[in-house]
Amino acid sequence: MNTDRNFSQRLLDWFDQHGRKNLPWQQPATPYRVWLSEIMLQQTQVVTVIPYFLRFTERFPDIHSLANASVDEVLAYWAGLGYYARGRNLHKAAQLMLAEHHADLPNDFQALMALPGIGRSTAGAIMALAHKQPYPILDGNVKRVLARYTAELRWPGDKQAEADLWHLAEDLLPEKRINDYIQAQMDLGATLCTRSKPRCQDCPLNTDCQAFLAGTPTAYPISKPKKAIPSKQIRWLVFHHDGQLLLEKRPVTGIWGGLWSFPEMAIDAELSPMLSEANISDFQELADIRHAFTHFRLTIRPLLIELNQPVLAIRDTDQQRWVKIENITSLGLPAPAKTLTEKLARGF
């Protein structure tokens, strides 16, 4: 692999002219704000994250406020960002920092790695951006830049390929301005070295970027071997009574973990036994809802069930709750549930 020692200086020179220096988490770049932004930016673009970050930090300006909030409230502010384990891990990590680190992010790489939701790249970003310590990162943007720079012929998710990219990322670290350099790597991948239509002519690394010199930059990184994406169907039971809808808290593990949604059942399950105790005045099939996840496609078939009165089997518990329609969005809801609730609100 080419480990040109001018790599970092060219990147820093480009950053001085074109880098992003006014992102909300850079004003100021405290460890808490850097940590929060790095978690939000996993699998999510900057333009999407900014409004969530601003709302989140207004409500939870520090580790104390985040740790002392309920997980339901944290997830309500997270709702819409997806990958909800990130929100739950933020809350758990804040509680651990309150208990074990005097409500501060540790200034230690291994201690950061021990916290929920913080892996090697996130820990490296916190150490470099917040503490100005020489640690590499290897997020999606950096993987793409390095894979193109070296024309890496293996899928970057391959164990040995990833280990080699980590080694290269560490070799290329500059002796000074580590925080600017790490930000420059991310900025280059986000603004020039993009997945499609990379602006190679404007790139400071184009004189020896192997993918550019070969004329095939978009061939890198090598794609992961594709598998058929499975489909799944479920039914939502949308109980309505006196301007209220019944919500059910989802298990912590699995999709939409810990969020509030509608009671769910298998699409081919028999409805009659479940509804036999309910005092139903009417029910109707609603339009299907389709939602795509990374690993499968989900079709939801909502059944709106009008009750004359709530039955004993359907009452408020820690896992079930009757909520007025106008108050539902104060809870953490999956995007499809929020969309359905808004449509129902317009119809009642």
Q: Which residues contact 73 (CB under 8 A, 6 or more apart)?
A: 59
Q: In the annotation, is 38 catalytic?
A: yes
b (16+ CB within 10 A) / e for 281-309:
eebeebeebeeeeeeeebebebbbbebee
Please give the helix or strand (H or E) that residue 105 lies within, else none.
Answer: none
DSSP letter (8 states) at residue 317: -
Q: 71-78 vs 85-100: helix axis angle to the nearest 10?
A: 130
**Other Cβ atoms within 10 Å of 265 Cβ, number:** 14
Please give the helix or strand (H or E) that residue 326 lies within, else none.
Answer: none
Judge whether 19 and 187 are in contact, CB under 8 Å. Answer: yes
Catalytic residue among 38, 152, 277, 306: 38
* Catalytic center residues: 38
